Amino acid sequence: MLNQSLKLNTKIFDENPDKKSTRSGFGEGLVNAGSTNEDVVVLCADLTESTKVNLFAERFPNRFIQVGIAEQNLASVASGMAAMGKIPFIASYAMFSPGRNWEQIRTTICYNNQPVKIIGSHAGLSVGPDGGSHQALEDIALARVIPNMTVISPVDAIEAKKVAVACATTKEPTYIRLARNDTPIITTEETPFEIGKAQLIFVPEVGLAHVGIIATGPISYSAILAAKELEKQNIKIKVLNLSTIKPLDKNSIIALAKETKVIVTCEDHQANGGMGSAVAECLAGNYPVPIKFVGIKDQFGQSGTPEELAKHYKIDTSSIIEAVENILKKKIS
């Protein structure tokens, strides 16, 4: 059942739950952040509307800088603005930022430890029809290996809105991973949010869970659908929403592993180097348990609807169910 201490959306299991993209939620949050803090500035590399920073640009034209199709410049210019006291948010597609400009992000932003916030929109297979060249499946890995960087992948539009407001107040360089497509609203305005804090969004009605699922981003919806389905087979699941991938909420991850003894991780990203790898690094050193990684298996994407692609690359609800059933066989009780 949904963990109602978090005041989640009770209509999430409806046939057609309310949907909105995380990029839209973040764009709205950015306007809120800009209203309360005049130091917030936004830079964009020719993708103003599709990254939803147009909302900020229309409201605060004097604090919006259009740099053209130049992602390397986008990162370094923002670093210079941060050095003068601004809090720059830079917007592009995840494929190009941090994809194209990784070294500028490392050297000018993270090595200088400047509070630049990197918005990587259109991340994951969910970009759909644009095809593999535009589907960033490596961005979590790229971002989380850089010292000083915070990495956040919001679960839904409402959480994304809170992330925008929260990271405008922090001093750390931060990567925020957003998706293009409309995805179910899991949280509500009342759901608490804190950077670095994972949340159990689905728990058994009674007793301990048999399997722990750790998910990041909108794919968490598929994880809770899987959990609900598995309940019918009397397999009890806890789903941990790991929005902040770095710094990692080790306590929550270890506590879950101690309870369930097996873990399944879910992400719309390469299984190599992503959120699941971060979880594995944590557990290997603290409380080793078998882990099943639901993610892309060392492949590039292709054109299709997000649903077709999730099925093909085995990151959909039935793939998560299958992963849970398989890992249960490895469980040493």
Partner 1 sequence: MEILADEKIKELKDIANKIRISIVAMLYNAGSGHTAGALGMTDILTLLYFHILKHNPKDPFWKERDRLILSNGHTCPVLYTTMAYAGYFPKEELLTLRKFGSRLQGHPHREFINFIETSSGPLGEGLAQAVGMAIADKIDGNVHYIYAILSDGEHEEGSTWEAVMLANKEKLSNLIVIVDRNKIQIDGNTEVVMPLLDLKDKYESFGWFAQEVSGHDFWELNNAIYKAKIHREGPSVIITNTIPGKGVKEWENDYKWHGKVPNKKEAEMAINELSKNYA
- Residue from 92, 97, 104, 150 binding partner 1 (CB under 8 A): 104
- The distance of closest approach from Cβ of residue 70 to partner 1 in the complex, given in angstroms and rounded to an integer, is 4
Q: Which is it for the CA torsion 293, 291, 4, 195, positive or negative?
A: negative
Q: What letter does residue 271 receive in the DSSP assignment?
A: S
Residue type, 301: G
Which residue's CB is nearer to partner 1, number 106 or number 180?
A: 106
Q: Residues 28 to 87: which contact partner 1 by CB under 8 A? A: 41, 62-63, 65, 67-68, 70, 72-73, 75-86
From residue 128, alpha-carbon distances to 36, 123, 215, 304 in Å are 36, 10, 20, 5
Candidates 112, 188, 303, 318; binder of partner 1 (CB under 8 A) is: 112
Residues 163 and 322: their CA atoms lie apart, in Å, by 32
The distance of closest approach from Cβ of residue 247 to partner 1 in the complex, given in angstroms and rounded to an integer, is: 19
Task: Decide whether 82 or 179 has the Cβ nearer to partner 1.
Answer: 82
Residue of 124, 132, 72 whose CA lies nearest to 102: 72
Give 103 or 307: the residue with its C-beta nearer to partner 1.
103
**What angle do the packed helices 250-260 and 275-286 form, to 10 degrees?**
70
- Of 68 and 247, which has the nearer Cβ to partner 1? 68
277 binds partner 1 (CB under 8 A): no
Site membership for partner 1, residue 170 (CB under 8 A): no
First to last CA, the chain: 24
What are 90's two structure tokens?
Answer: 């830079």
Could you say which of 71, 138, 159, 267 is catalytic? 71
For residue 98, the minimal CB distance to partner 1 (Å) is 15
Which one-letter DSSP state was computed for residue 93? E
Give the total of residues touching partner 1 (CB under 8 A).
Answer: 29
Q: CA 292, CA 302: separation in Å to the nearest integer?
A: 24
204 within 8 A of 2, measured Cβ to Cβ: no
Does residue 119 interact with partner 1 by CB under 8 A?
no
Q: Is 97 in the site for partner 1 (CB under 8 A)?
A: no
Least separation, in Å, of the C-beta of 41 and partner 1? 7
Should residue 108 be labelled a site residue for partner 1 when binding is judged by CB under 8 A? yes
Helix, strand or coil, per DSSP, at residue 188? coil
Query: Greatest CA separation found in the chain?
Result: 61
Give min distance, CB of 243 to partner 1, in A.
28
| Closest separation in Å from C-beta 140 to partner 1 | 23
Q: Is 308 among the residues known to form the active site? A: no
* Distance of alpha carbon 89 from alpha carbon 44, whole angstroms: 8
- Positions marked active-site: 71
Residues that bind partner 1 (CB under 8 A): 41, 62-63, 65, 67-68, 70, 72-73, 75-86, 88, 103-104, 107-108, 111-113
